[in-house]
Amino acid sequence: MPASRTSFVCLPCRAAYKQPHPEAGVPAGRERVCPRCSGALIHVGSAFAAPRRRDTRAWRALSVLLHAGVRFHKSCCGGPGWRPRTLPEVRERLVHARRTGEPAAEVLLRFAPHRPVRGQQRRTGRGTVSSGGTDW
C-alpha cells in the first residue's frame, strides 16, 4: 500500500505541495524544503485546500492561522472543522482572544455565534434579505 500523502505549504511562494506523510518512511530530522525558493515547508495536514496564489488576503489569513498553530488534519467526522478564511474573520477572533485572555489557537477555531447559520435569512446590505448559503 502506498504511503499516505499530506499537504505542505510555503508561505513566501504561496504554494502548496502534496508529499508523503512525515511518519511514512521519511528520515527523522529531515526538513522539507520548497522546490521554488528552498525555504522550509510547513506541514498543514491532509484536509487542506490552498487558496489561489493571487489571493493575497487569503494567504495572509492562512499565515496567521499557521503561526498560531492551527492545522488542517482530518477529524473523526471527515474534515478539519471550521476555519476562518478572511482577514476580518481572523481579526475579529484575535481581538476577542486579547480581550478575554483565551489562547489564539482556540479562538481561531471557534465559529462565531453571531454569524447566521446556513438556511437562515440574513441581511445583505441596503436592507435586502438573502436566504442562507455560505459566506465564501
Confidence grade of residue 77 (pLDDT, cut at 50, 70, 90):
low
Predicted TM-score (pTM) of the model is 0.68
**Nearest-angstrom CA–CA distance, 130 and 110:** 24
Average pLDDT over residues 79-88: 75
Looking at residue 92, what is its pLDDT?
86
Q: Is the pLDDT of residue 70 over 60?
A: yes
Beta strands in 2-104 (DSSP E): 5-10, 15-20, 42-45
Looking at residue 104, what is its pLDDT?
83
Q: How many CB atoms lie within 10 A of CB 120?
A: 10
Task: Work out the burial of residue 83: count CB atoms within 10 Å of its CB; fewer than 13 is exposed, 13-18 middle, 19 or more buried.
Answer: buried
Cell of 28: 527523522
* Integer angstrom CA distances of residue 83 from 2, 14, 18, 42, 62: 30, 18, 20, 17, 9
Looking at residue 133, what is its pLDDT?
41
Which of 66-70, 95-99, 108-112 has the weakest average pLDDT? 108-112
Looking at residue 81, what is its pLDDT?
67
pLDDT in tens, 24-47: 555 556 788 999 999 999 998 888
Q: What is the rounded average pLDDT for all residues in the chain? A: 75
